[in-house]
């Protein structure tokens, strides 16, 4: 996103929404939901005591639903949860509360649109928000963006941050989040999955965000560690880091479609220390490795690419994010070390030259449409090293290294089943390095391949690249 994340007062939001760069659109004649009423449990307001949602029911979220008072929401494998569009339904796990959404590869937990197959779209509901007590560089009591209702008690409902790096907000494992992400007011949106000050005691593994109406994943501070993330068909950014996020991420996939992008400018990675590029600490210093980021361009001469597409990675505003062993392909612009808005001039460049920001051992393909696969106000100061530390090839695309990267959902053209595993013998099949000090942590699996996949497809069974065709009318029926 392109904001500082400060929560606007509701009355201000109402008066300013008319001039938003991304306005919510509420359909006055919405699609139908033919799920049998007898199967549906409606959920509103607060969940203030330990609660279990069972797979033999379908749950419908209405409005802002909060897990509060240190309660734990447990969700059984195979459970379907839908969000109501008209009320901008969203599920927030407040500080001290937990969600235990532990699915399996055979029975993933699905959060999705309330509408029938064939009628779903991005922004059909809000999304999931996790709020924790881990450090954030904006203070210990920061209001999460997204237009949530504080109910007169911001500390209880919408604030995040603290001093506990090991804070535990629960577990999301084998979970799909589909058709979420909504703009509430200018620069104030709910993402598919939002993290606010979430600590590394939290487990995030095997989570797919499909067609978010804003970012797929956004981290505001915190230290949470994540593996096996999927961002499919996002509108804005895929992986957005801000406010001092210092977590670790391994194995992430994003796939974009060429006609879908956001007016604010869509990137795969977007990273800020904060919205003003301040020197506040903790500094954004997340470490990503083994990511596969597939942009909208699949070949030379690609036509009808949305003009709002931007960079494979835009690292700006004094961020010190690091990215290793990853594949970027098919973006309009490549790697941007951006010094345009900073409290201390050229601080993002300084992070790179000092080794706080590392971009190394990556493959960047077909991301030179504007002749700037390497971009920056101080490009002359870093281009030589950036090119030496990575592989750039403007004339090749993801099919050089990935088996079938250009098959898409039936929501888009060229529908089919993708295969994101690495091509045997390709430049991505070997050569991953974990010698940098940022990668020695035991959290990281020391694999040989670059990108998110070797020969094993870890999306098999639980992920769905075409949920538009899923009925979601029968409890527990989360797979075809």
pLDDT of residue 113: 98
Q: What whole-number percentage of the chain has pLDDT above 90?
A: 89
What is residue 183's predicted lDDT score, i.e. its pLDDT?
A: 79
Is the confidence at residue 262, as pLDDT, over 60?
A: yes
pLDDT reported for residue 19: 33
Taking the CA atoms of residue 219, residue 92, residue 207 and residue 182 in that order, the dihedral angle to the nearest 10 degrees is: -80
Instruction: Give the C-alpha separation, 73 to 50, whole Å.
Output: 6
Residue 316 is classified by DSSP as: E
pLDDT of amino acid 227: 98
DSSP codes joined into one string, 187-246: TEEE-SEEEES--TTSEEEEEEEES-SS-SEEEES---EEEEEEEES-SS-SEEEETT--
Burial of 433 (0-12, 13-18, 19+ CB in 10 A): middle
Q: Answer with the residue of higher pLDDT: 57 or 183.
A: 57
| pLDDT at residue 7 in the model | 37
Q: Which two tokens stand for residue 68?
A: 């509060």
CA-closest candidate to residue 377, choices 422, 341, 333 = 341
Between CA 469 and CA 116 the distance in angstroms is 9
pLDDT band at 32 (very low <50, low <70, confident <90, very high): low
State the DSSP code for 39. G
How confident is the model at residue 35, as a pLDDT?
64
State the pLDDT at residue 413: 87
User: For the residues 460-476, what does the mean pLDDT come to?
Assistant: 97
pLDDT the model gives residue 154: 98
Angle, vertex CA 271, rays to CA 269 and CA 273, nearest 5:
170
Q: What is the mean pLDDT of the chain?
A: 93
- The vertex-424 CA angle with 418 and 425, nearest 5°, equals 140
Say if residues 44 and 66 touch (Cβ distance below 8 Å).
Answer: no
- Rounded Cα distance between 293 and 229, Å, is 11
Cis peptide before 29 (omega within 30 of 0): no
| List of residues 6+ apart from 253 with CB closer than 8 A | 229, 230, 231, 291, 292, 293, 294, 420, 452, 453, 459
pLDDT band of 48, cuts 50, 70, 90 = very high
Kindly state the DSSP code that residue 451 receives in the 8-state scheme: S
Q: What pLDDT was estimated at residue 29?
A: 53
pLDDT of residue 34: 63
- Select from 233, 240, 209, 389 the least CA-distant residue to 314: 240
CA-to-CA separations, 400 to 326, 371, 403, 408, 419, in angstroms, rounded: 14, 21, 8, 18, 13
Helix (H, G, I), strand (E, B), or coil: what is residue 356? coil
pLDDT category at 38 given cuts 50, 70, 90 is confident
- pTM beyond 0.95, yes or no: no
Q: What confidence tier does 1 reach under pLDDT thresholds 50, 70, 90?
A: low
Task: Give the closest residue to 292 by CA, choosing from 328, 256, 335, 337.
Answer: 328
Tokens representing 210 are 């499909």
pLDDT for res 272:
98
Question: In the structure, what pLDDT confidence band is assigned to residue 184 with cuts at 50, 70 and 90?
Answer: confident
User: How high is the pLDDT of residue 125?
Assistant: 98
Distance of CA 204 to CAs 97, 328, 370, Å? 16, 23, 36
Q: What is the DSSP letter of 415?
A: B
Task: Report residue 296 CA to chain centroid gap.
Answer: 17
- Give the other-Cβ count within 10 Å of 100's Cβ: 16
Digit-coded pLDDT (tens) for 220-242: 999 999 999 999 999 999 999 99
3-class DSSP state of 18: helix
Query: Mean per-residue pLDDT for 249-272?
Result: 97
Taking only the tens place, the pLDDT of each residue in 386-411 is: 999 999 999 999 999 999 999 999 99
Mean pLDDT of 356-374: 98
> Can you give the pLDDT at residue 33?
67
**4 vs 276: CA distance, rounded Å:** 8
Mean pLDDT, range 278-297, rounded to an integer: 98
List strand residue ranges (DSSP E) for 237-286, in order.
Answer: 239-242, 248-255, 269-271
pLDDT of residue 339: 98
Check whether 304 has a pLDDT greater than 80: yes
Identify any residues that bridge with 74 across adjacent strands, giving them in sequence order: 52, 100
- Band (pLDDT 50/70/90 cuts) for residue 36 is low
Confidence bin at 302 (pLDDT 50/70/90): very high
Mean pLDDT of 133-161: 97
């Amino acid at each position: 996103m392109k904001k500082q994340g400060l929560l606007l007062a509701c009355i201000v939001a109402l008066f300013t929404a008319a001039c938003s760069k991304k306005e919510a659109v509420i359909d006055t004649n919405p699609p139908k939901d033919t799920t049998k009423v007898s199967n549906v449990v409606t959920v509103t307001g607060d969940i203030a005591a330990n609660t279990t949602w069972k797979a033999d029911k379908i749950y419908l979220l209405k409005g802002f639903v909060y897990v509060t008072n240190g309660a734990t929401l447990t969700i059984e494998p195979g459970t379907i949860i839908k969000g109501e569009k008209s009320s901008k339904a969203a599920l927030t796990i407040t500080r001290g509360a937990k969600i235990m959404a532990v699915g399996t590869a055979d029975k993933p937990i699905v959060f999705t649109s309330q509408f029938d197959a064939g009628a779903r779209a991005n922004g059909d509901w809000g999304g999931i928000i996790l709020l924790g007590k881990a450090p954030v560089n904006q203070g210990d009591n920061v209001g999460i963006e997204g237009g949530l209702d504080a109910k007169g008690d911001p500390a209880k409902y919408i604030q995040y941050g603290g001093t506990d790096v090991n804070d535990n907000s629960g577990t999301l494992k084998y979970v799909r989040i589909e058709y979420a992400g909504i703009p509430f007011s200018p620069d104030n949106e709910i993402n598919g999955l939002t993290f606010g000050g979430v600590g590394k005691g939290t487990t995030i593994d095997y989570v797919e965000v499909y067609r978010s109406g804003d970012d797929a994943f956004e981290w505001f501070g915190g230290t949470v560690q994540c593996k096996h993330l999927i961002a499919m068909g996002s509108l804005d950014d895929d992986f957005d880091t801000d406010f001092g996020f210092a977590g670790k991420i391994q194995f992430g996939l994003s796939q974009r479609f060429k006609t879908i992008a956001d007016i604010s400018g869509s990137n795969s990675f977007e990273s800020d220390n904060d919205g003003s590029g301040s020197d506040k600490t903790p500094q954004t210093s997340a470490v990503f490795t083994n990511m596969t980021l597939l942009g909208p361009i699949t070949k030379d001469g690609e036509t009808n690419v949305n003009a709002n597409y931007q960079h494979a990675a835009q690292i700006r505003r004094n961020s010190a994010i690091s990215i290793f062993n990853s594949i970027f392909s098919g973006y309009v612009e490549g790697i941007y070390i951006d010094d345009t808005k900073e409290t201390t001039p050229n601080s993002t460049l300084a992070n790179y030259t000092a080794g706080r920001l590392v971009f190394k051992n990556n493959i960047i393909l077909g991301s030179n449409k504007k002749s700037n696969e390497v971009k920056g106000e101080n490009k002359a100061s870093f281009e030589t090293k950036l090119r030496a530390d990575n592989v750039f090839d403007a004339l090749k695309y993801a099919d050089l290294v990935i088996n079938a990267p250009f098959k898409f959902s039936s929501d888009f053209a060229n529908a089919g089943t993708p295969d994101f595993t690495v091509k045997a013998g390709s430049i991505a099949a070997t050569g991953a390095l974990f010698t940098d000090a940022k990668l020695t942590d035991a959290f990281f699996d020391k694999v040989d391949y670059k990108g998110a996949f070797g020969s094993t497809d870890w999306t098999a069974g639980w992920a769905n690249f075409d949920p538009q065709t899923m009925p979601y009318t029968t409890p527990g029926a989360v797979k075809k």
